[in-house]
Amino acid sequence: MKKYLGNKTAIVLFMFPALAVFILFDFIPILQVFGYSFTDWNGVTDAVFNGVRNYTKLFGNKTFITANLNQVIFAVIITLYQMVLATVFSITISDPRTKGRKFLRVAYFIPVVLSVTVVCQLWVAMLDGQGLVNHIFALFGDYKQNWLGNKHLAIVVVAFVNAWQWMGYQFALINAGIKSIPNDYYEAAKIDGCTNTQAHRKITIPLLKETYKFCLVISLTGGIKAFTEMNIMTGGGPGRATYTLTYMMYSAAYKQNKYGYGLAAATIMVLECMVVMMVINFVFRDKKEADEENRARRKRNA
């Protein structure tokens, strides 16, 4: 292995297939999207360059603000739900005293392997006026709600459905991260008189930093790109309550044949995802890296 790691030619050869796939199926399409966003194009005839008109129209559209606000609400809800519950479940299952650990591991992950359409249709039926959820609430009083028809609740409910389905993925990542922590740390903490809660707060959570970083990236960017749940469960409604930038892009491109305008929305979405990743990388950077950056900045200013 050391022989190959020291061979630059071997490294390039191993990287080339993955790099070629990334360039062909990710990087080039992103550049094409960016290019077509400056055109008036219906997807059939030749594209006509129209400058920044699509972006001017997009930023002047009140729906654009609503769509971005809904995206933020959706992304924050699914991130908090998934990260918190996945951490609690992972810590619980990592305890040898927990009974039925194998069953719980499978149970938490089952929703992930289900089709998004199946999950959404299941929850639509359960959230119906005469569905299971309202029947359960009726047992405790008159708490029946029009869950998907209420403009204040709809985005929260749709976010919950998304978080419920994909929490198992976050659980698998965090559980793997906990397993990678040496047991010696916990034994030393126990000798020092730490409780389980203190040990997890001082050892588990800090050592899961890189895992949390990855989980935050996929959760927040996934929230920004979310579309399927809104399309199936609410159609972007009621009103614009669950209307997001991805839905705006879909509506412009595939319903109105305004591909240039839709691709402008797609470009903004890509930029938002990039900003989120940059912020997360900045927040989670190592102290050593931060110190080196500060020293370099002082040298430049000297």
Encode pLDDT of 69-103 as tens digits. Answer: 999 999 999 999 999 999 999 999 998 888 999 99
**Owning domain of residue 175:** 73-241
Examine residue 264 and state whether it is found in any structural domain, yes or no: no
- CATH classification at residue 210: 1.10.3720.10
Strand duo 48-49 + 39-40: pairing = antiparallel
pLDDT confidence bin for 5, thresholds 50/70/90:
low
Average pLDDT of the chain? 91
Examine residue 262 and state whether it is found in any structural domain, yes or no: no
Examine residue 230 and state whether it is found in any structural domain, yes or no: yes
Q: 259-283 and 28-36 helices cross at what angle (nearest 10)?
A: 130
The DSSP secondary structure of 34-60, one letter per residue, reads HHHTTEE--SSS--EE-TTHHHHHHHT
Report whether the peptide linkage leading into residue 238 is cis, meaning its omega lies within 30 degrees of zero: yes
Examine residue 16 and state whether it is found in any structural domain, yes or no: no
Q: Of all residues in the chain, what percent carry a pLDDT higher than 70?
A: 93
d(C-alpha 234, C-alpha 166), whole Å: 19
Examine residue 260 and state whether it is found in any structural domain, yes or no: no
With residue 19 as reference, give the H or E element that holds it: helix 8-22
Q: Residue range 202-210: average pLDDT?
A: 94
Across the chain, which distance is largest between two alpha carbons, in Å?
74
Examine residue 144 and state whether it is found in any structural domain, yes or no: yes
Evaluate if residue 1 carries a pLDDT over 60. no
pLDDT confidence bin for 145, thresholds 50/70/90:
confident
Positive or negative, the Cα torsion across 124, 129, 130, 135?
positive
pLDDT confidence bin for 298, thresholds 50/70/90:
low
Examine residue 249 and state whether it is found in any structural domain, yes or no: no
CA of 40: how far to CAs of 44, 61, 255, 277, in Å? Answer: 11, 17, 15, 31
Examine residue 121 and state whether it is found in any structural domain, yes or no: yes
Predicted confidence at residue 288, as pLDDT, reads: 63
- pTM, two decimal places: 0.89
Overall number of domains in the chain: 1
**Token pair listed for 27:** 């990087």
Neighbours of 157 (CB within 10 A): 21
